[in-house]
Amino acid sequence: MDVSSENKLKYETVVFDLDGVIIDSSWDIADAVNGILEIYDCKTRDYNFIKKSIGGGAKNILLQCLEEDKKPLIDEILVRYKELYFDNCTKKTTLYPGVMEVLQSLAGKVNIALATFKVRGATEKILEELGVKEYFDVIVTSDDVTHPKPNPECILKILEESQSRKETTILVGDTPIDVFTGKNAGVTTCAVLYGFGNPEEIRKAKPDYIIEDIRSLLEIILDTKLGL
């Protein structure tokens, strides 16, 4: 999207993480992980254990959940997990409260982008099912980059595709990895506390902004001071 030079907003481009920011995908991820664990005769994991593992990509989640003797099979298991997850990724996944309102408020005013660990197939399926795919001008998934977060490749790719400037771009994530990714890319960082990240660890990462409700993002973009 071509952002007008008359735009009075503080930021011209907003980059969202997907899981833990836009969507609560924890139940579908947990179900897929436990489905794979059963296939490979591993002990299934508690929902809360799996939820705490979300944020570093599917491979990271599986390595934390698999029994030691199955970890050498991770590449094979990862392929089967992605297939199982894709088939079931929209059963229990929902938008977080306020997300639709924020996307609708930002649409046409700023570039809206997405940077996610997810593969493109599952990402687009979920966005379409939840009725929000149309709001994203640029979508970068794990299929589109060589180096995962916190390497800034995904953000730099978005900046290039949207012709955006670092100084007017803000990344919204829910984990320290997201914060470090934004810092490595040289953009402003905003962390939400309602997602999958540990609030204490998020604060230690020192994002530029911390919010508890995604709707507070509108105040930041409109350059209204917020108490952190």
pLDDT recorded at residue 3: 57
pLDDT recorded at residue 228: 38
pLDDT recorded at residue 226: 41
Token pair 């490749």: residue: 153
pLDDT recorded at residue 39: 97
Please tell me whether residues 44 and 143 are part of one structural domain.
no
Which of the listed residues 54, 88, 122 is the one where a domain comes to its end?
A: 88
Residue 2 lies in a domain: no
pLDDT recorded at residue 56: 81
| DSSP state at residue 68 | G
Domain that holds residue 128: 13-24+93-221
| DSSP state at residue 4 | -
Please tell me whether residues 19 and 121 are part of one structural domain.
yes
Please tell me whether residues 109 and 58 are part of one structural domain.
no
Residue 7 lies in a domain: no
pLDDT recorded at residue 10: 86
- In sequence order, what are the residues at sequence separation of 6 or more whose Cβ sits closer than 8 angstroms to the Cβ of residue 91? 27, 28, 31
Please tell me whether residues 131 and 187 are part of one structural domain.
yes
pLDDT recorded at residue 60: 93
- In sequence order, what are the residues at sequence separation of 6 or more whose Cβ sits closer than 8 angstroms to the Cβ of residue 214? 21, 96, 97, 98, 99, 102, 172, 192, 194
Residue 180 lies in a domain: yes
DSSP track, 50-64: HHHHTTS-HHHHHHH
Please tell me whether residues 153 and 66 are part of one structural domain.
no
> pTM for this one?
0.92
Which of the listed residues 88, 106, 121 is the one where a domain comes to its end?
A: 88
| Parts of the chain with a pLDDT under 70 | 1-8, 223-228
Under 8 Å between Cβ of 132 and 103: yes
Separation between Cα atoms, residue 188 and residue 67, nearest integer Å: 39
pLDDT recorded at residue 8: 66
Domain tally, the chain: 2
Please tell me whether residues 114 and 59 are part of one structural domain.
no
Which of the listed residues 73, 88, 103 is the one where a domain comes to its end?
A: 88
Please tell me whether residues 20 and 31 are part of one structural domain.
no
Name the pairing type of β-strands 94-95 and 111-115: unpaired
User: CATH number for the domain including 116?
Assistant: 3.40.50.1000
Burial class (CB in 10 A: 0-12, 13-18, 19+), 37: buried
